Structure 1
Amino acid sequence: MELAGEADDEAFAALEAERAAASAVSRVAPGLATARGVRVDRVPTLAYTRHVSELVGRAEATVSDAAAVLTAASLDRTGSVAVRARNVRSTADVSTADAERELGGVLVDRGFAVDLDDPDHELRVCFSEDVCLLGWAVAERDAAFGSRAPTDRPFFQPGSMAPMDARAYVNLAAGPSLPDATLLDPMCGTGGLLIEAGLVGARALGSDAQWKMVRGTTENLAAYLPRARWDVVRGDATELPFADAAADAVVFDAPYGRQSKIAGHELADLVGGALVEAARVASACVLVADRSWESAAEDAGWTVTERFERRVHGSLVRHVHVLDRA
């Protein structure tokens, strides 16, 4: 697995992949991980995984060692091939051009034809620090995924979350149940999390205390999810208008800042009450906030599986709580 993002994102990326598309994800070098039981059809919906390949072998991070591993490997395919080499984050002392040329020569000697434009198979050769992983490409992230922006939506408000992050939080929350999951955002704002939920195949449910946000989210979901099932209502996150176990997962971005009252609630009461309601309607949750709410989550009946601190800009750090019902 070729992980996306910066070095600080790797544990986060590995957990997203494990919850939504694979099992036993293990990082082996910067930007690289191995896994078992990959759900290939879910890989294009991941945010922080670029490519997944069927492992051919592992070598030292030199062209000669990579070529030796490929020469000795058992190859169960024929046809045309292209070799794509990467020096992940420029951490290895290696020439990717030399690697593509030499490993391409190995494959030609073994009966393959080279086709750089439309090959039957693509061999990915990834160098990172002192490790090289070789594998046949089997799936990749949607190439157009990163081209969308919150400002493209019919309804936009400053501070809207980037689609890449929203997608990752949806996968962390609902991944084990996808694509047949129902995901609820009780503070849906402009609907960024719900858009990503719908795009990965989940049924999206949203509520917000402000009619303005309900109307805006409805407009955005109609534009991005014209054929999907979704519902948005006006509601208080501490008294959700949904039945027990109405969703598989809850994900929400709590208000930031030190406001004394938000939608008639003190901030602590709002977040704490929302966590209690989330535990009533679902068995998994991801809470994103500008501070730790671990104690409130535990008081609401959640087990904090993981918590990540992700810097956004300046002094803003997002605290990502991955919760499972105790």
Structure 2
Amino acid sequence: MSMNKNRYFIARLAGDIASLSYSELISIISGEGYEITDSIRIDEFVIFRTMEKAINILIKRASTIVELGILIDIVSDIDEVLKLVLEYYDKGSGVCIDIDSIRGFGKEEGLLLYRKLVERGFTRYRNCTRKIRAVFLLGMILVYEIILRRRIALYSDREPHKRPYYRPGTMKPVLARLLINLAKISTERHDTILDPFCGVGGIAIEACLMGFRVYCSDIDMRMVLGSKINSISYKCDNMIDIILSDATLSPYRYNVINAIVTDPPYGIQTVPRSQSMENLLKGFIRNASDALKSGRFMVFAVPLQYADYTEEVLYDNSFNIAEKHLNKVHSSLTRVIYVVQRK
């Protein structure tokens, strides 16, 4: 992949969780110490400039960026698209063209453009070395060369029910990776992550596969053993330290952790019998404040009905709320995903 630093890039966000997807894009790049400039968001697309290294990291880490490309141009009619394609590429270069219409915008024009391209010898979007997409949206046409297309199949072998040790209600790998990326951490700085409600290791495994060292703890010995089994299965046992520990009674030294990413238990079957949900959250947040370095981030989710209480406890324990996102799991559960910064 050859890229010029003066080029604009374009990212297509996951439409159903667009705010989270946008935050993931920004968090990965800024967390690694790079800048985004000249950015503009158009519906589910973000157009921006950044360094080539940042793009390479984005390709390796992002879980909710549906597509990433190099912007060719933004035009207003199909003749301009046709001219662009003919100028930039010749018929022998293995170029394929795909036409897309967002929510029905420009559907008829897209069909006409496709016919004109086929007449000139361009192939459909398959079996080619270079892939161009023209997206009709809000009276404009975004034209770009695709450099990444998300493949959900890459996560399939890490789906909760396919892990050697399974527990119902475990977070799926795409969401686990998203939460890790929201913590604004860096593989280049060798940042460390703590998951104090590790369960069977879903978050820890995703962090390991991105190159992070993880401290993984749980109060339930069955979960600790399950995490060990799963970490070995995914060849992560050398990157994940697993211990038996109560998240409300932290065994970690003060201000040593670069990021905390976790999914606290909130079901009847998962909250420890000796704890109320409020006391569990209070103890967890208090100890997280002790363990996390100043200025660094914690990412976690709680049911919507606990949001007000959670925010009171966060403010009382030296956290500022940087972001919060609603995430509907099913008809009876909506979570709030918090990104909070230690003062």
TM-score by length of 1: 0.84
Shift of 1:235: 0.7
Is residue 2:182 matched to residue 1:172?
Answer: yes
Letter in 1 for 2:218: D
> Taking structure 1 as reference, are residues 104 and 172 closer, same or farther at Cα in structure 2, changes over 3 Å only?
farther
Structure 1 CA distance, aligned partners of 2:187 and 2:113? 38
Letter in 2 for 1:252: T
Structure 1 CA distance, aligned partners of 2:264 and 2:271? 13
2:301 corresponds to: 288
Contact 1:63 1:102 survives alignment (8 Å): no
Structure 2 CA distance, aligned partners of 1:228 and 1:246? 20
Is residue 2:14 matched to residue 1:4?
Answer: yes
SS in 1 for 2:63: coil
SS in 2 for 1:99: helix
Contact 2:266 2:277 survives alignment (8 Å): no
Q: How does 1:116-127 map to 2 (within 5 A)?
A: 117-127=126-136
Structure 2 CA distance, aligned partners of 1:131 and 1:146? 34
Contact 2:262 2:299 survives alignment (8 Å): yes
Letter in 2 for 1:155: Y
Q: How does 1:125-140 map to 2 (within 5 A)?
A: 125-140=134-149
Contact 2:228 2:237 survives alignment (8 Å): no
Shift of 1:184: 1.1
1:308 corresponds to: 325
Is residue 2:64 matched to residue 1:48?
Answer: yes
Moved more, 78-87 or 278-287: 78-87
Shift of 1:140: 3.4
Contact 2:216 2:241 survives alignment (8 Å): yes
Q: How does 1:1-326 map to 2 (within 5 A)?
A: 1-6=11-16, 9-21=17-29, 23=36, 26-29=40-43, 31-37=44-50, 38-60=54-76, 62-67=77-82, 79-94=93-108, 96-103=110-117, 117-148=126-157, 149-173=159-183, 175-178=184-187, 180-226=190-236, 228-257=238-267, 262=272, 264-282=274-292, 283-291=296-304, 292=307, 293-326=310-343
Shift of 1:213: 0.8
Structure 1, unpaired ranges of 5+: none
Contact 1:27 1:34 survives alignment (8 Å): yes
Which whole-Å deviations, capped at 9, do the CAs of 1:178-226 have from their partners, x for residues lacking one?
Answer: 3533111101112111111112221121101111111111111111234
Q: How many positions carry a matched residue from both structures?
A: 314
TM-score by length of 2: 0.80
Matched-pair identity in %: 25
Which whole-Å deviations, capped at 9, do the CAs of 1:266-302 have from their partners, x for residues lacking one?
Answer: 3222212212222232221101111312222122111
> Taking structure 1 as reference, are residues 3 and 240 closer, same or farther at Cα in structure 2, changes over 3 Å only?
same
Letter in 2 for 1:81: V
> Taking structure 1 as reference, are residues 97 and 26 closer, same or farther at Cα in structure 2, changes over 3 Å only?
same
Structure 1 CA distance, aligned partners of 2:124 and 2:101? 22
Shift of 1:46: 1.2
> Taking structure 1 as reference, are residues 205 and 105 closer, same or farther at Cα in structure 2, changes over 3 Å only?
farther
